[in-house]
Amino acid sequence: MTRPVTAFGPDFPFAYDDWITSPVGLGSIPQDRLGAEVAVIGAGTAGVVAGHELMKLGVRPVLYESGKFGGRLRSETFEGTEDVIAELGGMRFPVSSRAFYHYVDLVGLESRPFPNPLTEAAGSTVIDLEGVTEFARDADDLPRLYQEVADAYHAALEEFADFTELQQAVRDRDARRLKELWDPIAEAWDERTFYDFVLSSKAFRGLGFRHREVFGQVGFGTGGWDSDFPNSMLEILRVNLLELDDNQRFIVGGVERLLHRLWRQPAVCRHWPEGTSLASLNGGATLGRAACIERNGSGGFTVVDQWGNAREYAAVLVTCQSHLLTTSVSVDESLFDQKLWMALDRTRYMQAAKSFVMVDRPFWKDVDPRTGRPLLSMTLTDRITRGTYFFDNGPDRPAVICLSYSWMTDALKVLPLGPERRVELALAALDRIYPGVDIRSHIRGNPIVVSWEADENFLGAFKGALPGHYRYNHRMYGHFVQKGLPEAERGIFLAGDGVSWTPAWVEGAVQTSLNAVWGVMTHLGGASHPDNPGPGDVWDELKPVALPD
């Protein structure tokens, strides 16, 4: 039986899913540190997952949140409904994200296949490029050009990366072999772009510009990738290698429910009484925005909230986007080495915008008598909408259309515009693709839109590492192992998908939160269970390759 691909490595091949599911637990802290308070800055995935695991160890995590609980797992409910939602942040979750799905299963949520292009869940797909529209139920229905693009990309991966052998090492969880293959790639490709990879491959050199253009607009898996062309190729290769763009599912009722349930769900904890939850330890609500983080006189930390209230902590876990540490939170500069500050400040975040409307029913499934096809299909286009997705809640229930999901330049086009104008632009684009199809009469309530770069609590959607940023990522990711740091820099930890090697994927937030749990545990004098070593225990053996400065 072929083993599945999981998000195992490749930079640090540690089995997080095995660590958190071991019956012996993650470890323990000394008796005299039980009940120690740890500040957790941010109630998104990284903050809530870390808080849950720290609570089980007998720590009191105190959560701060400056905006909306859930971070970028933001499920917005349409007015007048209870469960018709727009997924403004994370909305599709690959099955290779095993640590993430551990928590999905823990709180009892259901997932279903996401309606990505050319999948059974989508039903049908329309690709509209340069005014030419192609209808397909699967890839075989598309013109030969599209298959040539897909074949060229797969050939290019094999050509430069021994992709099949790399992925087999991931399947086998063979950490040593994976590092043997991956580390030289990291050294060779950190400073080269995704577009450089496409352009320099033999497979694409044998094709024309039109093939590269179509690849940028339509891409592979979930859609076009031209907005990632300037990124480091390593960023893209990880996505392919770990199947982050394949076999994706959505969480029924909204993914934000995961964090709300984890917040309220009692757990078996050391030190805390039966029935304890993160919510009960926090008095039922998070604190507000953390305004200041500084070292106190007793070796711990002082965190001051937006109202001037100061609290003392044994350690601090920071999960917010890194730019907020210089724009929103006043942080004692001596807490981080200047090289780490460079990494935090130079992290580059990508823009993203979405526009959703609720409609009376899944009318797009109605058959057009002129064509015999559905009225509307999952749509990829070079127009302003870029990607349009359809979510069916049942034949007699309100449904949802994500009219537009766009990144970078396309997201910036609508940045200054209000919800109604964004919807009008999207509808005008779809009118040209589907002439005569009436969408407007089906719309109910008010649209829901987001531009993550305009949110003062995020300043961008997710990290997109540029060439040369591997070193920065290494500094941020490896910061949880603090045995070599000066005493003045110990006790404050970083987590979040922007700290991970897989930005934009919730698995990165989960894995870095677990790194931070190990870091806090050992900072408080604790240790992993001897039968279940944690990420810091095997760091020297598995750590990412160090590139020279």
* Cα–Cα distance, 20 to 461 (Å, whole number): 28
Within a domain: residue 232? Answer: yes
Within a domain: residue 314? Answer: yes
Q: Are residues 159 and 241 in the same domain?
A: yes
Token pair 């797969």 is found at: 154
Q: Burial-class residue 384 by CB neighbours within 10 Å (0-12, 13-18, 19+).
A: middle
pLDDT over 90 percentage in the chain: 95
Q: Does residue 297 carry a pLDDT above 90?
A: no
CA nearest 70: which of 282, 248, 262?
A: 262
Q: Are residues 472 and 338 in the same domain?
A: yes
CATH of the domain at 535: 3.50.50.60
pLDDT tens by residue, 328-380: 999 999 999 999 999 999 999 999 999 999 999 999 999 999 899 999 999 99
Read out DSSP for 320-338?
Answer: S-TTHHHHTSEE-GGGS-H
Q: Are residues 214 and 238 in the same domain?
A: yes
Residue 282: CB partners within 8 Å, gap ≥ 6? Answer: 61, 62, 63
First-to-last CA distance in the chain?
Answer: 44
Q: Are residues 61 and 135 in the same domain?
A: no
What helix, strand, coil percent values describe the chain, rounded to 5? 35, 20, 45
The one-character DSSP state at 491 is S
Q: Are residues 271 and 244 in the same domain?
A: no
Q: Are residues 268 and 209 in the same domain?
A: no
Calculate ∠ Cα 368-370-375, nearest 5°: 25
Q: Burial-class residue 82 by CB neighbours within 10 Å (0-12, 13-18, 19+).
A: exposed
Confidence of residue 160 (pLDDT cuts 50, 70, 90): confident
* Cα–Cα distance, 43 to 288 (Å, whole number): 10
CATH of the domain at 181: 1.10.405.40
Token pair 């959560």 is found at: 63
Confidence of residue 201 (pLDDT cuts 50, 70, 90): very high
Confidence of residue 220 (pLDDT cuts 50, 70, 90): low
- Last residue within a domain, chosen from 229, 250, 271: 250
Section 305-322 average pLDDT: 97
Q: Are residues 264 and 171 in the same domain?
A: no
Quick one: which H or E segment has residue 133?
strand 132-136
Within a domain: residue 13? Answer: no
Per the prediction, the chain carries an average pLDDT of: 96
Section 313-326 average pLDDT: 97
pLDDT tens by residue, 511-547: 999 999 999 999 999 999 999 999 999 999 999 999 9
Within a domain: residue 1? Answer: no
* Cα–Cα distance, 38 to 61 (Å, whole number): 5
Q: Does residue 1 carry a pLDDT above 90?
A: no
* Cα–Cα distance, 186 to 385 (Å, whole number): 34
Q: Does residue 491 carry a pLDDT above 70?
A: yes
Q: Are residues 227 and 307 in the same domain?
A: no
Read out DSSP for 415-447?
Answer: TT--HHHHHHHHHHHHHHHSTT---GGGEEEEE
Q: Are residues 141 and 244 in the same domain?
A: yes
CA nearest 51: which of 276, 271, 290, 278?
A: 278
Within a domain: residue 458? Answer: no
Confidence of residue 222 (pLDDT cuts 50, 70, 90): confident
Q: Burial-class residue 19 by CB neighbours within 10 Å (0-12, 13-18, 19+).
A: buried
Within a domain: residue 259? Answer: yes
- Last residue within a domain, chosen from 250, 266, 294: 250
Section 427-443 average pLDDT: 97
Residue 345: CB partners within 8 Å, gap ≥ 6? Answer: 322, 323, 326
Q: Are residues 223 and 303 in the same domain?
A: no
Return the HEC string of 10-50. Answer: CCCCCCHHHHHHCCCCCEECCHHHCCCEEEEECCCHHHHHH
What pLDDT does residue 223 have?
A: 76
- Last residue within a domain, chosen from 230, 250, 270: 250
Confidence of residue 221 (pLDDT cuts 50, 70, 90): low
Section 158-163 average pLDDT: 84
What pLDDT does residue 127 have?
A: 96
Confidence of residue 240 (pLDDT cuts 50, 70, 90): very high
Q: Are residues 148 and 58 in the same domain?
A: no
What pLDDT does residue 186 have?
A: 96
pLDDT tens by residue, 368-422: 998 999 999 999 999 999 999 999 999 989 999 999 999 999 999 999 999 999 9
Number of domains the chain is built from: 2
Range of the domain at 214: 125-250
pLDDT tens by residue, 65-120: 999 999 999 999 999 999 999 999 999 999 999 999 999 999 999 999 999 999 99
Within a domain: residue 7? Answer: no
Q: Are strands 85-87 and 75-77 parallel, antiparallel or unpaired?
A: antiparallel
Q: Are residues 129 and 246 in the same domain?
A: yes
Within a domain: residue 279? Answer: yes
Amino acid at 400: V
What pLDDT does residue 469 have?
A: 96
Cis peptide before 10 (omega within 30 of 0): yes
